Amino acid sequence: MNVVVSQTDQWRHRPLYLAILERLKAAGCAGAVVTNAIAGFGPTSQIKTHTLLELSIGLPVMITVVDRPEQIERVLPEVTRMLSGGVITVEDVDVAYYSAAFDGGVPDLRVSNAMSAHPEAVIPDTPIADVVERLVHRDYTELPVVDVAGKLIGAIGDTEISVGPDGISLSLQKAVGPDLVREHLARIKAEGAKVQSLMRSKVLSVRPEASLREAAFLMHQNDVRRLFVVDADGRLVGVISRLDIFECILSGYRGRTAPQEHRLPLEHRTVAEIMDQSFPTVSEDTPLLQAAEAVAASEVKRALVVDDRGNLVGIIADSDIVHRVDAAEKPGFLTLLRSRWSERARQEVRRAHGQSAADVMTSPVVTVRDTSPVIDALSLSVEQHIKRLPVLDANGKVVGIVSRPALLAASLEAASTRSL
């Protein structure tokens, strides 16, 4: 797309060509360039030339942008509305070579380029039962709370609801099965609690014009997976997640065509440098009660299952236990996996005679080598939808576990190294 305007054209007291460039960048275009003519004329003006006497007044300026057809179609109406005169041409081109100027870490983009716009939200009067019913069928476990003007005033999700009327986290409710979920919802509806009684008012937010790096740092610093995006008036306009940032990082790596010997920061660092070497393990024949206790005691609510040689054979999450134990035992395990572990819970769980870690574990497990580049682990995490990857050495033994927070921290460190 070529946009030809006059060098003296203005848009809201700024040079029009600069305003168009900013609009194209905000829309996420791959790039654009402005060229200044040395001579030219339009339908109502005399020939203008680039001389010292005329000081180049009113010479044509051309903004050229090359991008995917759907992107050009999206920005064309916006740019057209900015013109009071000039010309716009759109034509098909063959791209012989393109390499994004990407040198690793979090790319130089705005939050608006990566966020999900128009997110689902609730108001303070929304019943808690409605929130649970919605989130049980979503990939995420939190909803923003807005007032009647659409301004962000809080949030409600897994943390608030798990200590609320029902006491069971949403992630576990997704695993218990439809019958138990219906029972829980009926109880919550009978209690009649509203969002305003459980929501938290302190929430983190970011502006759409903020850099992706700023958003990533805010997530890392506060150990959160998502940020709400608000405009200058505090109205909710989007949401950006850690996964959104990872996808932007991967897009940058996939889009570059620089020689592979020019390795970037996330290709130099290995998984062994960022993995957590502290993780719970159980054996295949560990009684289910003991395996459940290991999972409940773990911060990540997971335990790795290893054989007698220390080789990884499976992984157990709290949801695996609830999903795979006998139907009659589910209520007891739900009690076990709540915030408090009591002797009564142990007694209920002991009824699961004969079941062991091998009966409830997930196998095979997606893993990553300790010598693999960090970018490989990040790619696996995104493509396989896995939040924590067990790390194996050359002999197949478990030596650690790498999490998404660690991958985000490594990406930010790469960005810091790059800026030095």
What is the Cα–Cα distance from 158 to 140, expressed in whole angstroms? 9
Distance of CA 159 to the CA centre of its chain: 19
Query: Do the Cβ atoms of 275 and 190 come closer than 8 Å?
Result: no
Token reading at 198:
């459980």
At 348 the pLDDT is 53
CA torsion sign for 117, 118, 123, 128 is: negative
Query: pTM, whole model, 2 decimals?
Result: 0.70
17-26, 257-266, 287-296: which range is least confident on average?
Answer: 257-266
Please identify which residue in the block is written with the tokens 């005679």: 353
Q: Give the β-pairing of 281-283 and 302-306.
A: parallel
Range ranked top by mean pLDDT from 14-23, 256-265, 287-296: 14-23
Question: Facing residues of 229 across strands?
Answer: 206, 238
Tens digit of pLDDT for each residue in 272-296?
999 999 889 999 999 888 888 888 7
Tens digit of pLDDT for each residue in 360-411?
899 999 999 999 999 999 999 999 999 999 999 999 899 999 999 999 999 8
CA atoms within 13 A on the CB side of 374: 28
What is the Cα–Cα distance from 318 to 321, expressed in whole angstroms? 5
At 326 the pLDDT is 57
Residue 77 neighbours by CB under 8 Å, 6+ apart = none
* Overall residue count recorded for the chain in this entry: 420
- The chain-wide mean pLDDT, for the chain, equals 81
Query: Do the Cβ atoms of 88 and 80 come closer than 8 Å?
Result: yes
Given a cut of 70, whether residue 139 has pLDDT beyond it is yes
